[in-house]
Amino acid sequence: MINNDLHRETRDGREVTAYGFACGYDMRVGADNSGPRATLLRDGCYHLRGFDANGDHFWDSFDYLADARRAFAKFRSAYRKGLK
């Protein structure tokens, strides 16, 4: 079960650590209810899930945090380019 109260925005702009993910924190980008958005979280392995610009749902799983962060960064970059 995911605790939505543990969404974390770091004050200094750093990403959530592996320990933070193990404690239930997640990382998010995008709107909460509509449009493209993604959440990176850990539940045994790392999950990147959300909705793309077309409204299609996606869900990818990764064994390693580095791989999950790369995929999240790619989505975040595309999301930010779409806002300009």
Q: For position 8, what pLDDT does the model report?
A: 57
Quote the number of domains for the chain. Answer: 1
Query: Using an 8 Å Cβ cutoff, are 26 and 6 in contact?
Result: yes
**DSSP code for 6:** G
Q: What is the pLDDT of residue 83?
A: 62
To the nearest whole number, what is the mean pLDDT of the chain?
Answer: 83
The residue segments making up the domain with residue 66 are 4-83
Residue 5 has pLDDT above 60, yes or no: no
Helix, strand, coil shares of the chain, percent, nearest 5, are 30, 30, 35
d(CA 70, CA 5): 25
pLDDT exceeds cutoff 80 at 84: no
Q: What would the pLDDT profile of 11-51 be if each residue is shown by its tens digit? A: 555 788 899 899 888 888 887 777 899 999 999 999 999 99
Give the pLDDT band of residue 3 (cuts 50, 70, 90): very low
